[in-house]
Chains A and B, each alone.
Chain A
Amino acid sequence: MSTAEVSVPAEHAVRPVRAYLRFFTAELRLVFLRRRNLLLLAVTAIFPLVIGIALRLASPHPQGRNGAGVAFFNQLAGNGVFLTFIALSTLLVLILPVVVAVVAGDSVAGEAGYGTLRYLLAVPAGRTRLLAVKYGTIVTFGLCATFIVSAVALVAGAALFPVGPVTLLSGTTVSLPDGLLRLLFVTLYVAAAMAALGAIGLAISTMTEHAIGAIATVMILVVASEVVDNVPQLAAAGPYLPTHWWLSFDALLRVPVDTSTLLRGLLSFAVYALLFCAFAWARFTSADVTS
């Protein structure tokens, strides 16, 4: 081994931002090229398609039928754009949280399980830096899954139903570009909800070396929160639950936009993300790595 191989000045020439990006890119490749995760993304892509086809078959005469009780279903028959809102609200119940829970729950616990965590820290990746890269990857993956749902639903909706000016939930009709812009914001809102869930998953992931356990815990939390949110006697707790504001994106589908609901939702996501990222950081930077 010759110490001349990598000269000392060259070492210091590596810029921190560049090094961060390199680590982040490597992490993204690892997560996005993993077969299990690709399968999850494929599932999120198939669901909007299946929902679209099923709704199309169920309503052979686009103008002549009222949908089920859900608000968006009535609108779908008249406009394919609404398939995106139907798909997002349906997948938000379980599929999207599962996708995020798998990647977030696996993030640190998976590394601990493989034993690669001790080597990453000995590299040294840096504990805070590793956590930041992990969270960045979780958020990116959640964003990706959400956009896949919207994109597939939009294309399927356009193919299966008529597309034109969008009649909103408030009864106002806006132009198609306006409708698509609202769809973009809805998708970003859902991605923000998933980013908050990702922080919860990251925190749980730092507490165990069993990825499956971490993933299951995140899912149990999601389901428990949804159940509590549906018990009328516990309505007072509702606004503080992590899942409470997920479906509030319908506030964007009204004129005027119900900004106070939206902001409260985003505030809830931000608080959850901050709280759990802080918890993950406090735990991860002080705990012994024994795996």
Chain B
Amino acid sequence: MTAISTSGLTKRFRGGQLAVDHIDLAVPDGSVYGFLGPNGSGKTTTIRMLLGLAFPTAGQAALLEVPMPAGATRVLHRVGSLVEGPAFYPFLTGSDNLARYDAADRTADPRTARARIEAALDRVGLLSAAEKRYRNYSLGMKQRLAIAAGLLRPRELIILDEPTNGLDPQGTREVRALIRQIAADGTTVFVSSHLLAEVEQICTHVGVMRTGRLVFQGSLPELQQTGAVRVTVQTADPEAAVKVLAGLGLADAQAAGNAHPEASAVLGDASPEQVCAELVHAGIGVRGFAVTSPSLEDLFVGLTGEGFDVDG
């Protein structure tokens, strides 16, 4: 079963701007899916369509195999969500705010409401602040209350849009731990983020957005395989090393570094042991030898473009 699937999902705003351009998401059941992309790449618009808040201009979407937005009232109570930051009534307490959302849920059992609200608050560590007004909450507490709202019922899928936005490192760690816990219970987690370290630490699958298009989708190891593994040789004579590497048929052989001169090339199908042996055999003084996979950041930038190079 797929927790989220879309085909050709498209959103064109009234102004003509294509915010989401024919994306085909496939979020496997039980995965922790990192939805990556620079700001403005269409992540939030996609999430709004998944939750039935915005209507797609073309294509289909399904949550837990129920078509959206048509099936919104049939499926959304099985889905917890945090969309574009927390939103509550500032003049109500934390627990009254949760009670309000729970009362709006036609399938929630009023008899268990109090217990469920307390359990959700306890889960995010807000039980002691339950009777405090929302307006007096800190940013981290607000974020956690929003997650608590997502946990009011047992959920099969949790959709979190930038859950650590604006949090301090402490808060970020807490949210990350919470996401791990939720996933460990068997709930599928779909988390959008532009924080790569976060995604690398908790996600099993990733989808990468760039200007409304899904430019990659797969498991984290699959993403890592798309980047070329390189061999790097530290040596006093990088030029000679480059010749040897190129002679072995390795692509993109190049020299680099002044203080620590080195030569590197794409490993390809060659075995690192053989490359090292050949270097030594050719009389290159090898000070260090490394096989490196590209970092997620390199891969991400490779897929989405350099910092300010984001296409509008």
Contact = CB atoms under 8 A, between A and B. Distances in A.
Contacts of A115: 84-87
A1 B116 CA distance: 11
Interface string A1-25: 1110110001111101011101101
Nearest to B90: A114
8 contacts: A11-B107, A13-B109, A14-B110, A23-B103, A35-B91, A123-B76, A123-B77, A289-B54
Interface of B: 48, 51-55, 72-73, 76-77, 79, 81, 83-92, 99-101, 103-110, 112, 116, 119, 123, 149, 151, 153-155, 182, 185, 187
Contacts of B55: 286, 288
Does more than half of chain A's interface fall in helix, strand or loop, or is it mixed? helix
Contacts of A3: 154
A129 B106 CA distance: 10
B223 to A, nearest CB: 29
B103 to A, nearest CB: 4
Given A6-B112, A11-B109, A1 B54 contact: no
Contacts, number: 117
B207 to A, nearest CB: 21
A76 B106 CA distance: 51
Contacts of A119: 81, 83, 87, 101, 149
Nearest to A287: B55
Given A34-B91, A121-B53, A2 B109 contact: no
A22 B87 contact: no
A114 B104 contact: no
A2 B154 CA distance: 7
A285 to B, nearest CB: 10
Interface in A25-45: 25-26, 30, 34-35
Contacts of A26: 99-100, 103-104
A119 B154 CA distance: 17
A50 B107 CA distance: 48
A22 B103 contact: yes
Given A34-B91, A116-B89, A289-B53, A125 B155 contact: no
Nearest to B87: A115
A118 interface: yes
